[in-house]
Amino acid sequence: MAGFLIKRFLQAIFVVLCVTLLVAYAIRLTGDPALMLSQGAGSVTEDDLARIRTGLGLDRPFYVQYLEFLGGLFTLDFGRSFLGGTPVNQLIGRALPATLALALASLVVSIVISIPLGIASATRQGRWPGQVIRVLSLVGLSFPNFWLAIMLVLVFSISLQWLPPSGMEGWQSFLMPALTMGIILTATNVRLVRTAMLETLKQQYVTVARAKGLSERVVLYKHALRNCAIPLITYLGIQFGGLLGGIVVVERVFNWPGLGTLAFQAVADRDYPVLQGVIVVLSMLIVLVNLIVDIAYGLVDPRIRTE
């Protein structure tokens, strides 16, 4: 296990370095932060722009700026925002809990809905309940997340006035964003659980468990579900990583104060330090989630732990 963890750690370092290099180079192709900062200041000369670039450290070669950024990573110092000079650590520290909370809530919603529906679809294959679940999962896959988010706002916030339309104030504000992402994830997870369960139910140990007189609920949820959990764990890990990086649209619709909103604003403002810091944190979290998934394999399937 120690060798495995060291190997994964070295891979994580390589991934983070590649991601930071690509992001640091790509964001500098989006425009000049000096022009953004000088907007609204009236007539600005080239000398004024040069002084702004010097103050921000943008007059130095790219490799010098990048190496300075890497040096700050060892102390988790991502520098200061170009707008206002606020430390990037503080901005990320305020936004990260909101994104993690929303991603976890969305994943929980998906798991709670998809596992029972997937098992029901597999055990009722060929009957109308199974067909209805399959059709609903296909419908869910066709929904763009921004459209579903807007529809939920129109129904529950504007028409019924049951839930707040935006912001993060109380548990009620979690319902619509988590439900939006949860429904999209559920549409895929139901089909994944159904396929894995259909294959597992054909195994001999399931027949033996039923022959022992165990209840159908114990057979399905204790024996069959655990043995078909490997593909589900894999995909849930991928989904959680995708949620962390791909929740920008939902955060914007609901004005959610998370990393997605922070990164979106940083791109618009050409705020290099903020965007680089957000990308590094997200990449580290995704690598960490993948490591946890790999370890979870061994906990679920002893054969993998032996290997």
When pLDDT is cut at 50, 70 and 90, the band that residue 301 belongs to is low
- The H-assigned helical ranges of 157-203 are 172-200
Distances (CA, A) of 223 to 58, 116, 149, 206, 277: 60, 15, 37, 7, 44
d(CA 187, CA 192): 9
54 and 146, same domain (yes or no): no
Residues 187-225 pLDDT 10s: 888 888 887 787 777 777 777 777 777 777 777 777 777
Q: Is the pLDDT of residue 116 over 70?
A: yes
130 versus 165: the higher-pLDDT residue is: 165
99 and 70, same domain (yes or no): no
Is residue 181 within 8 A of residue 256, CB to CB? The reply is no
Q: What is the mean pLDDT of residues 216-245?
A: 73
- Answer with the one of 74, 104, 129 that is the final residue of a domain: 74
209 and 140, same domain (yes or no): yes
pTM: 0.74
When pLDDT is cut at 50, 70 and 90, the band that residue 21 belongs to is confident
Q: Any long-range contacts for 6-12 (C-beta under 8 Å, 24+ apart)? A: 8/287, 8/291, 8/294, 11/287, 12/284, 12/287, 12/288, 12/291
Total number of domains in the chain? 2
When pLDDT is cut at 50, 70 and 90, the band that residue 245 belongs to is low
Structural domain harbouring 17? 2-74
For residue 4, what pLDDT is reported? 67
- Answer with the one of 74, 108, 127 that is the final residue of a domain: 74
- Answer with the one of 21, 45, 74 that is the final residue of a domain: 74
DSSP 26-67: HHTTS--HHHHHTTTSSS--HHHHHHHHHHHTTTS-HHHHHH
Residues 63-115 pLDDT 10s: 888 888 888 777 778 888 877 778 888 888 888 888 888 888 888 888 888 88
Pull the structure tokens for residue 194: 């159904």
55 and 106, same domain (yes or no): no
Is residue 261 within 8 A of residue 251, CB to CB? The reply is yes
For residue 305, what pLDDT is reported? 52
**DSSP bridge pairs for 87:** 80
153 versus 232: the higher-pLDDT residue is: 153
